[in-house]
Amino acid sequence: MTENRFHTPVLLERTIELLAPALARPGAVLVDATLGLGGHAEAFLERFPEIEFVGLDRDQQALALSAERLARFGSRVHLVHTVYDRIREVLAELGIPAVAGILFDLGVSSMQLDRVERGFSYSKDAPLDMRMDDTAELTAARILAEYDEASLRRIFYEYGEEKLAPRYASRIVQQREITPLETSAQLVELLIAATPAALQRAGHPAKRVFQALRIEVNQELAVLERAIPAALDALEVGGRIVVLAYQSLEDRIVKRELAARSASTAPRGLPVELPEHRPEFALLVRGAELASDEEKASNSRSTPVRLRAAERLRPVARRAA
């Protein structure tokens, strides 16, 4: 293994603690929907020597490195190049009807941030790429070149929660008439110039815009909205899911779906709750769990994390045709 950017997985021990009860039986299947460099995967495969493991990732570089890292576990490991909203299709292709555990560690990976040429960081000059899957067509540079002003303003508002979205969108459209925006340094320079001096002290002007572009390039929120319900449906009774989210937009999607699945659907006033109205899931943590001060000090990537977890209580309800 030549890759030297192995970071400590966020909330590793807590994640193991929450998923462990579901992985106790031989042959239990664990899915890591966001494999990355395989840090969580390696820990689970070591501690649960009788589980099978399915790792999904859209990043082919990450998959190659994880394949090398996890090679010693042999046939217990199945790695698949895919976007995680295809979790049910992947499991069907592997002949797995239901799984015991599912882990999501959302957002951009440490490796993607560290590799300058991927263009995820506003602090280093690189081509404006931002693709998690380098076989995809849409890049950040293409968005900046082709989206109209209203569309740019929308994604900066919705995905970056950027109050200066109209100003930034207008400046980008003006600038591209003169010269295309192709590198992170060009975009950062434009954003700094467009930001009132008083607001520059509130944080780097590029942070929210880069987040919004990354989310749009990779369709992260739309994919997540499909992936969480699909993952919940893939869990067997007693199966557990753990989701680590790093920004409020992701966490909101997870919170909403888990809340809906852990609530009774019985009509108000019904004297007896029928079995089909009982909650499908029970929440395993109260609200969103944060990293401890000790973990934040030792692993800075854990600072914004929000952990949510749930356990399936009864079989998945059949959907109407």
Q: What is the DSSP letter of 127?
A: B
239 carries a ligand binding annotation: no
Matching residue, tokens 């076989």: 135
Type and span of the H or E element at 156: helix 149-160
Rounded Cα distance, 248 and 264, in Å: 26
DSSP letter at 301 equals G
Q: Is 57 annotated as a binding residue?
A: yes
State the DSSP H helix or E strand holding residue 102, giving kind and residue range, or none if neither: strand 99-105
Judged by DSSP in three states, 163 sits in: coil
> 3-state DSSP call for residue 124?
coil
Tell me if 38 is assigned to a ligand binding site: yes
133: exposed, middle or buried (Cβ count in 10 Å: 0-12, 13-18, 19+): middle
Strand order from edge to edge, sheet including 306-312:
77-81, 52-57, 29-32, 99-105, 235-245, 306-312, 281-283
> By the 8 A CB rule, do 128 and 139 touch?
yes
40 is in an annotated binding site: yes
What letters, b where the CB count within 10 A reaches 16 and e where it falls short, cover 236-272? beebbbbbbbbbebbbebbbebbeebbeeeeeeeeee
Q: Which residues of 293-311 are buried (b: 16+ CB within 10 A; e: fewer)?
A: eebeeebebbebbbbbbbb
- Both tokens of residue 233? 């449906």
- 39 annotated ligand binder: yes
How many Å apart are CA 82 and CA 160, to the nearest integer? 25
252: CB partners within 8 A, 6+ apart: none
Binding residues: 38-40, 57, 84, 105, 112
Binding residues for S-adenosyl-L-methionine: 38-40, 57, 84, 105, 112
